[in-house]
Amino acid sequence: MSKRNRQIKLFDRELVGTAIRQSVIKLNPVLMIKNPVMFTVELSTAVMLLVSLYQLSTGDSSQGALWYNLTIFLILLLTVLFANFAEALAEARGKAQAESLRKTREETPAKKAKKSNGSFVESGEIVSSSSLHLGDYFVCTAGDIIPMDGEIVEGIATIDESAITGESAPVIREGGGDRSSVTGGTKVLSDRIVVEVTSQPGESFLEKMIALVEGASRQKTPNEIALTILLAAFTLIFVIVCVTLKPFADYAHTPITIAAFIALFVCLIPTTIGGLLSAIGIAGMDRALRANVIAKSGKAVETAGDVDVLLLDKTGTITIGNRKATHFYPAPGETESDFVKLCALSSLADETPEGKSILELAGKDSVLSVQKLSGGASMIKFTAETRTSGITLSNGTEIRKGAYDAIRNISDKAGKLFPPLMDTKVREISANGGTPLVVAENGQVAGVIELQDIIKPGISERFARLRKMGVKTVMVTGDNPLTAKYIAEKAGVDDFIAEAKPEDKMNYIRKEQADGKLVAMMGDGTNDAPALAQADVGVSMNSGTQAAKEAGNMVDLDNDPTKLIEVVEIGKQLLITRGTLTTFSIANDVAKYFAIVPALFIASIPALQSLNIMGLKSPETAILSAIIFNAIIIPMLIPLALKGVQYRPIGASALLRRNLLIYGLGGIIAPFIGIKIIDILLGMFM
C-alpha cells in the first residue's frame, strides 16, 4: 500500500455512494439508539410522519397545513440521514484503507524448515500461509513473499516493506537483535532468512490492522462516552423544557402545534455535535493511519493528546544509531597522514559500525593505499574480551586500536611512555560525550580517534515543539552520566536517565503516573516491552521485536522515533475538534432559541417583540428556517470533523480563547445570518 493510495479524497465518489447507502441502513432504531441525541431526532421524525398520515386520512387541519407538516417531516428525516452520512463516510474511509491493506494479505506458499545439527534446513514441505502455526519455521529467499509474521532466527536479508509502510526504500532485517521482526505480506529482496512464526492464523499484525482500520474493533473512548452522557443530559433537559412549555402556552392562550414543539426540541438539543460525534472519533484513527501509525484503539489516539511525559531511547532514536568517527588526533611527533594510515590499517579487520566509520573518515585513498600493505598480514578482529582490533604486518609490525585502558596495558607491557598530551585528549573527548579509541604501533601510542554519537538532524527543533505542547522529553540511555548529560544538552531534551536498566524505565513511568501524569514511551526492543505496556501510550517500531509490537498500543510503520510528535498533534487535534464542535453546537442553540420562541408567542405576548431581533416573517417561516439550518449545518461541518481542527502549539489558554472566539462566537453569529437568509428565501414562496 503506497502512501499515495492511502490519501483518500475527502468526498471520493465511491465512498460517498457507500456512505449514502449506509445512511439509510443506519436508520434502524437498534443502531440509532447508540446515539441518544440522534435517536430522539429519529423518534421526532416518526411522530411527524404519524401526524402527516393522520392529516392525510382525516383532513384535520388543527395541527397546521398538511404540506407544512410533511415539510417538517422531510427536513427532520434529512437531519438524521445527514448525521448517519457523516458517520458512514468516516467508516467508509476506514474500510477503504482496510481494503488496500487486505490486497497485501493473500494466500502465500511457505517453505517449512526444521532444525538439524544446530542449523535450519528446508524440510521440502510447501504449505499455505494459513496453515502455519505459532512456533513453526519457514525459509524465505530473494523474491519470496513472507507468508506470516515472525522473528528471524537465522540469516540477514533486505526486505521490501512498501506493501505495509508505503516506503519504497528496502530495509535490512537480521536475527538476534532488535530488528528481527518481519511482517507477513512483505517481500524478501536478497539473501536467505529462517523465520519463526510468532502469531496464530488470523491473528497476524496485518489482520489485526485490517480489523482496527475497518472499525470492527473500534470502541468508544472514555472521553467520547463522557460527551455522549453530557449530550444525553442536554437532550433530557430540553425534553422537560418542551413539555413544560405546553402549560405556559395554554395560560397565554397560544395554541402550539406538534410540529412547533418538535421543531423547537430538535433545534435546541445539540444535534450538530450529536450527528458528528462518531465521525470525529473514527476520523482520529484514520488520521493516525495516514501518518503511518497504527493505533490499536481510539483511546490510544485520544490519550496521546493529553500526554505529559515522553520517554525516548538514545541510540537510534535521538542519535543516528551507532557512534561515528569524527576526528583523528595524532600524538606528538606523528604526522596526520601517517596516523590516518595507521587508523585505517587497524580498522581493516574491524567489522563493527565504529570500525567502518573510521575507514569512511580516513578516506578512499588512504584505505586503498593501506590495503596494498596488508598483503600477507595477520588480521586481528575486534572482540569484547580484548576490546582491541588491529593488524600484524608481514614485517612483524603490530598495530592495535582499542579502548583507552586496553591500549594503555599494551603500552605499559612494551615499556613505552603514554604521552601526557594524549592522556589529556582522552579525558577531553570523554567529557564532551565522546568515546576515545587509542591507536598504538608496536606499543607506542600514535594518537587518538574520537567517536561521537551523531544527533539526528532537526531533532532539537522537534523537542522544542513538544515543549510548546507541554510535553516533557526524557532521554533513556545506558551511557555514563557525563556522556548522557552532554548528549541530552545537545539534543535539547528536558531530562535524562543514565546507566538505565529496564526496571529504571518502569520505575520512572510509575513515578510520573503516581503524580497524575500521562506517560508515552517509544521503543523497539524486547527489553522495552514492559515499559511499553506500562506507559499510557506505548509506540513500538514496526522494525522492532514482536514482543515490543505486542506490548505497545501503537505501531509506527515508518520506524521514526520522533513520530510521537505527530501522534500527539493528532490526539490533541481529536480532542480540540470534539470540543470546538461541541462549543459550536451549543452556541447554535442560542440563535435558534431567538428564532423560534418569539415567533411562537409574539402574537399572544407582544412584550416578547424585543426578543424578535431577527425580524422573521411568520411563525411558520421561523420554524422552517431554524430546522432547515439545523439540518444543513451537519453536512457543512463534515469536512471539519474528518480533517480535524488545526492544532497550534500556542498554550492551552491561548488555544481555548482562540477556539471560543472562532467557534463559540461563530456558532452564535452563523445561525442568525443563516436563518435570516433562509427566512427571506422562504418568504418569497409563503
Residues with active-site annotation: 313
Alpha carbons 684 and 686: distance in angstroms, whole number:
6
Can you tell me the distance from the alpha carbon of 56 to that of 420, in angstroms, rounded to the nearest whole number? 107
CA atoms within 13 A on the CB side of 650: 10
d(CA 588, CA 637): 13
Cβ neighbours of 251 (radius 10 Å): 9
What's the alpha-carbon Rg for the chain, to the nearest Å? 34
Q: Which of 539, 646, 575 is nearest to 294 (CA)?
A: 539
- Directed axis angle between helix 205-214 and helix 66-102, to 10°? 170
Q: CA-CA distance, 61 to 255, in Å (whole number)?
A: 13
∠ Cα 80 81 86 (to 5°): 100
Q: What is the DSSP string of 484-534?
A: HHHHHHHHT-SEEE-S--HHHHHHHHHHHHHTT--EEEEE-SGGGHHHHHH
Cβ contact 184:105 at 8 Å: yes
The Cα–Cα gap between 520 and 137 comes to 34
d(CA 252, CA 133) in angstroms, rounded, equals: 77
479 close to 430: Cβ distance less than 8 angstroms = no
One-letter amino acid at 6 equals R
